Structure formats: structure tokens, C-alpha cells
Amino acid sequence: MNRIEKVMRRIKENNEKAFIPYIMAGDEGLDALPKQITFLEKAGATAIEIGIPFSDPVADGPVIQAAGIRALQEGTTLKAVIQTMAGVRPIVHVPLIIMTYMNPIIAYGIEKFIEDSYHAGVDGLILPDLPVEEEGLVAPLAEKYGVEIIRLVTLTSPLERIKEISSKGKGFIYAVTVKGITGARNRFDKQVGEHLQRVKSVSSLPVFAGFGISTPLHVKEMNRYCDGVIVGSKIVELFREKELSAIEELIKAANIMRTIK
């Protein structure tokens, strides 16, 4: 059983709230990646999303774009990230999820990428520019190797499309909470809660909220409506500023919600 599926079962059985931090691989050099992963696991992360730097991201806001540029300037490549993840996998037990765009995967070779990811201990993939209609490029190979594809729904996704997406896979649904790119927000549209509840009502998979979440209050608020949160830009920013205690506070905000129904 895939590690993601195991964790999702645990969340459901124990009424837990999940916290998935995002980090940009290669920001501050690839030597920093194992340290960040082990820190986040120790701090209580449910799983860890690892971004691959790409020159033309379509979903990333200014903070993650800047981190990606720094990582590219450090010479970070997809192959090097996978090799680094293979090195840290023996000492890390939480699921590791790669977030990337299709261009680097196609350049790498789709099957070779999936195979190498599997052998490196990668548990899942988030591919923002791969629509359901085109995922035949990747999904059969991912299923063959037991690597879970994590699918996204947005505030503008029709209910029938949400149902279709929610019927696939054994991981979780990534419910985007803003109409736009990643990045910290001061507040969210009042329809976000309704959106998360709508996704929850038709999904057999856990539903995690992501994009814009940046404070412990945001974490607690989103967890009223869904099964967990994904925090990216704020985590990237806090790592760069060496504010590790603030990262721990964000994760703690999810942990204290675990017994709240």
C-alpha cells in the first residue's frame, strides 16, 4: 500500500487534521533539502510536497517563483532532486510528493521519471498543468509503479467535474482556495468554506485546502471545512528567513485541530 494511502486511512480513522508543507528543492542548494525534510517530519508534517524549479510555472506566485529561480541558479535539476530524495528516504517515514510541471517530465522521459521516482521513494505527484483529459500520458505508468497522482479542483470547477476528479486515485483531493496563483493572503473569499464543503460532499477521498494559507488562524479556519491544509509560499519564506519556530507554530495549529470534529 502506498504511504499516502496509509496516511489517509489513519487520518480518517483517528479524526486527524493533516498539514502538508511545500518546499522548493534547491533553494539554498540541494544540500539544504534533506535538512528541511527531516525538520518538517520531526515538526509533525503529515506529508511533504517538494517543488521542482521550472522556468515557466503557471500556478506559482512571486515567493515560489523567486525560490525556483534561485534553485535554478544553483544548478538544480529534476534528476538531482530525485537522487537527493533517494538519499533521504531511508531516514524519513512520511510520504514525499513531487510537485512539478509536465515540461521537465517530458524532457526527462515520462516512464524513466516515474520509475526513478518510485525507486527514490517518491509517493505522489502533483501536476498542475496536466488536465484529467490528458493524464493518460502519466496515470497508467504511475499506477504501474504505485505512485499516486494528486488531482486538483478549483473554485470554478463544476460539480460534475469535481465528482469525476474525486473518483480517481487513493490519495487526496487538492482543493485550491483562491482564484489565482499561490501566495499568502490576508483573507479569503467567503465562498471558500462553501467550496470546501461542496468538494467534501462528493469526494470519497480526503480534501485538503491549499493556496494562500499563511497563518495559524488560516490553518484552523480551513480545517473547519476540510481534512487538512497545504502551505507553500509561507513555508518557503520562513525557511529563507530561518524562522523555524514559526513553521512549527503553523504545523501545531493543524495538530491541535485533530480531535475537533
| Residue tagged active-site, from 5, 16, 60, 227 | 60
Residue 60 annotated in active site: yes
Residue 143 annotated in active site: no
| Residue tagged active-site, from 16, 49, 116, 148 | 49
C-alpha cell belonging to residue 199 = 468538494
Nearest C-alpha neighbor of 42 from the set 5, 93, 77, 84: 93
The pair phi, psi for residue 74, each rounded to 5°, is: -80, -5
Distances (CA, A) of 252 to 166, 195, 213: 28, 25, 14
CA-to-CA distance for 210 and 221, rounded, in angstroms?
A: 12
DSSP the chain: --HHHHHHHHHHHHT--EEEEEEETTTT-TTHHHHHHHHHHHHT-S-EEEEPP-SS-SS--HHHHHHHHHHHHTT--HHHHHHHHHHHGGG--S-EEEE--HHHHHHH-HHHHHHHHHHTT--EEE-TT--GGGGGGTHHHHHHHTPEEEEEE-TT--HHHHHHHHTS-SS-EEEE-SSS-----S---TTHHHHHHHHHHH-SS-EEEESS--SHHHHHHHTTTSSEEEE-HHHHHHHHTT-HHHHHHHHHHHHTTTT--
Catalytic residues: 49, 60
